[in-house]
Amino acid sequence: MKLKVGLLGGGSWGTTVASLTARNCPTTIWARNQATVDEINQHHRNEKYLPGARLPDTLKAANTIKETVQDADVIIMGIPAQHFRTVLQEARPHIRPWVPIISLAKGLEIGTKMRMTEIIEAELPGHPAGVLTGPNLAKEIAIGQAAASVIAMVDDTIAVRLQSVFQTGLFRVYTNDDVVGCELGGALKNIIAIATGMGDGAKAGDNTRAGIITRGLAELTRLGVAMGGKPQTFAGLAGMGDLVATCASTQSRNRYVGFNLGKGRKIEEIIDEMAEVAEGVKTAKVVMELAKEYQIEMPIADEVYKVLYEGNTVNDAFKGLLKREVGSEAEPG
C-alpha cells in the first residue's frame, strides 16, 4: 500500500521534496500563497521558487493545512525553523495518531534552542520524528540532477520504510539513527557558509575558503558531539557533505548572505531582498548560546555573530581570527 504524503511549505526545498515523493506516493503540498497553489495544480510549476522546473502531474496543492494533512500517512514539514512550531500547532488537530513527522528545516529555535524533532516531540508526543538532510540544493534536484540525502530517525524500521517515499533513481536516500548529529550538522553548517561567503565576497581566495570550511567542520563537530551527536555523522552527508555544498554553491542562501556582507553591504538590506530564509542568520544567535552553555570554543561562528549582530565588519572578523594563537590542529582556533 502506498503511503499518502502531506507536505507543509511551498518554498524551493519543500516543493522539490514534494516533487520527489509525488513520484512514489500520492502527495499533497500546502502553500500560503493561493497563486502558488493554483500554479502547481494548473501548470505544474512553482516559478517563484523553482523557475524552469516542471513538477509531476500527480502532485496536488491545497490551500488549507487541514486538507493537506488530515488523510496523510506521513507529514513533511518544509517550514523554516522560526515558524516551525506555529505551523505544527496549527496542523496538530488534523493529524491522525502515530503518523511520522519529518522535518526539512536546518535551523534551531530562538529562545528554546530546540531542534525541530524536539519541537515535534513536545507538540505531538507519540509521533515518530525524523529529519531529511544532506547536501541538497533544491534547484539542481528539481531539474533532475543526482544527489544524496539522509533520513535520520531513532527507529530504524520506520526510517527504512520511509526511504521508499523519498528515494528516486537520481535521489539516493541513506538511513541514520543519529538524529541529533544529523540535525545539528544541517543547522551549524549554515553559519560556516556565511563565513565562507564573507571570504568570497571580500576576494580572500581559495586557500582562505578551504581553511574556513575545514576549521568550520572542526567547530561544528566539537559542538555537535558535545550535544550528543556521533563524530562519524559529521564526516558524512549530513555534516561534511552538506557543509561543502552550502559553502561552495552560488545557490546557497547562507553563502549569498555572507558574500554580500563581504562586499560591504548591510545585513538588513540583504535579508530584505531575499525571497527565502537564510537559516544561519538567526541560528547564529542560538549557536553562540549553546557554545557558551557547553563551553565549546567556536571562533569562526563567534566572528560571524559579531558581524551579524554587533556591527563588526568582515575585515574585523578576519583580523579577529588571525589574532588567535595557533596551536595543534586538534585544538580550537
* Residue among 274, 185, 256 nearest 223 (CA): 185
User: Which pLDDT score is estimated for 275?
Assistant: 84
Domain 190-322 has CATH 1.10.150.250: no
Active site residue 319: no
Q: Is 173 helix (H, G, I), strand (E, B) or coil?
A: strand
| pTM, 2 dp | 0.94
Query: pLDDT tens for residues 230-245?
Result: 999 999 999 999 999 9
| Residue boundaries of the structural domains of the chain | 5-177, 190-322
Whether residue 109 contacts residue 136, with contact meaning beta carbons closer than 8 Å, is answered with no
Around Cβ 63, how many Cβ atoms within 10 Å? Answer: 15
Report pLDDT digits (tens) over 11-70.
999 999 999 999 999 999 999 999 999 999 999 999 999 999 999 999 999 999 999 999
* Cross-strand pairs, 172: 148
Predicted pLDDT at 312? 95
Q: Which of 113, 189, 292, 306 is catalytic?
A: 189
Alpha-carbon distance of 331 to 230, in angstroms, equals 19
H-run or E-run covering 101: strand 101-103
Rounded-to-integer distance, Cα 29 and Cα 9, Å:
7
What is d(CA 43, CA 27) in angstroms, rounded to the nearest whole number?
16
Question: Could you say which of 3.40.50.2300, 3.40.50.720, 3.30.930.10, 3.30.160.620 is the CATH number of the domain covering 5-177?
Answer: 3.40.50.720
Q: Measured between alpha carbons, how far is 227 from 108 in angstroms, rounded to an integer?
A: 13
- For residue 327, pLDDT over 70 is answered with no
Residue labelled with grid coordinates 541514520: 176
Q: What is the pLDDT of residues 265-274, one digit of tens each?
A: 999 999 999 9
How many whole angstroms separate alpha carbon 277 and alpha carbon 118? 21
Per-residue model confidence as pLDDT tens digits over 147-158: 999 999 999 999
Number of H helices, E strands in the chain: 15, 8
